[in-house]
Amino acid sequence: EDKVVQSPLSLVVHEGDTVTLNCSYEVTNFRSLLWYKQEKKAPTFLFMLTSSGIEKKSGRLSSILDKKELFSILNITATQTGDSAIYLCASLIQGAQKLVFGQGTRLTINP
Amino acid sequence: GAVVSQHPSRVICKSGTSVKIECRSLDFQATTMFWYRQFPKQSLMLMATSNEGSKATYEQGVEKDKFLINHASLTLSTLTVTSAHPEDSSFYICSAASGPTINSPLHFGNGTRLTVT
């Protein structure tokens, strides 16, 4: 059974801190690993990672994939209260063209 | 960027009635759309994959006669929850690929919060 596991499930930090969110996966026919941010409604796309070892950056957010160890991390530096959200990672299954989601990490940034 | 519109955003219905949710890709053609369900404080669970012009593919445990999916055009897929019960109350989200899925991220609609009384 395809499985994506995120940790921690919940994280509370102070504004300005740096956080690292983890995502491990066990899937057949892995194609890519995607990160999404979900606030009150639908998830918004952050990153799609297909190759190992290549860091993707967008402002204070960055992510990297390790296909040998089957995990990815999402880093957020200098966190702000607006970063508070649920962060979802998902594995894209080749062939089936579907996403298998992890449970999400609920991140709370306190002022 | 690619936009996916979902309607309605919120619906309350009585037990035993049916509810239709629409998912439209506004500025691109989506040969494949996906329907997810999300219970409070849980992740998104894929319900079915909707293919334009053919039958939907349902995930294990999802009743195809209860959750009817129609993908009649390259920009519209609908999910009908038939004979709804309180346990069907959930957040339903659709997504669509703006290109070959292996190369493009899926874009999500804003979701529909269904409450069955």
Average pLDDT over residues B46-54: 86
Sign of the dihedral defined by the CA atoms of residues B40, A105, A101, B21, in that order: positive
The CA distance from A95 to A101, in Å, is 17
Chain B residues with CB-CB distance to A97 below 8 A? 32, 49, 97, 101-102
For residue A98, give the nearest of B6, B49, B109 by CB distance. Answer: B49
Q: What is the pLDDT of residue B50?
A: 86
Q: What is the pLDDT of residue B52?
A: 80
The CA distance from B75 to B96, in Å, is 9
Give CA A26 to chain center in angstroms: 15
Confidence of residue B102 (pLDDT cuts 50, 70, 90): low
Confidence of residue B103 (pLDDT cuts 50, 70, 90): low
Q: Is B51 on the interface with A (CB under 8 A)?
A: no
Which of A43, A48, A57 is CA-nearest to residue B101?
Answer: A48
Which of B39, B102, B103, B49 is CA-nearest to residue B77?
Answer: B49
Q: Which tens digit of pLDDT belongs to each residue from A78-91?
A: 999 999 999 999 99
Confidence of residue A1 (pLDDT cuts 50, 70, 90): confident
Q: What is the pLDDT of residue A40?
A: 79
Confidence of residue B21 (pLDDT cuts 50, 70, 90): very high
Q: What is the pLDDT of residue A108?
A: 97
Name residues whose C-beta falls within 8 Å of residue A74's C-beta, 6 or more positions apart in sequence.
Answer: A20, A21, A23, A35, A46, A47, A61, A62, A63, A87, A89
CB–CB contact A99 B34 (8 Å): yes
Q: Higher confidence at residue A103 or residue B98?
A: A103
Average pLDDT over residues B24-43: 87
Q: What is the pLDDT of residue A77?
A: 98
Q: Which tens digit of pLDDT belongs to each residue from A6-61?
A: 999 999 999 999 999 999 999 988 999 999 999 878 888 899 999 999 999 999 99
CB–CB contact A41 B110 (8 Å): yes
Inform me whether the pLDDT recorded for A96 exceeds 80: no
Name residues whose C-beta falls within 8 Å of residue A28's C-beta, 6 or more positions apart in sequence.
Answer: A2, A93
Inform me whether the pLDDT recorded for B87 exceeds 80: yes
Confidence of residue A93 (pLDDT cuts 50, 70, 90): confident
Average pLDDT over residues B100-116: 80
HSE value, Cβ hemisphere, 13 Å, CA-based, for A105: 28
Q: Is B107 on the interface with A (CB under 8 A)?
A: yes
Averaged pLDDT score across all residues of chain B: 89
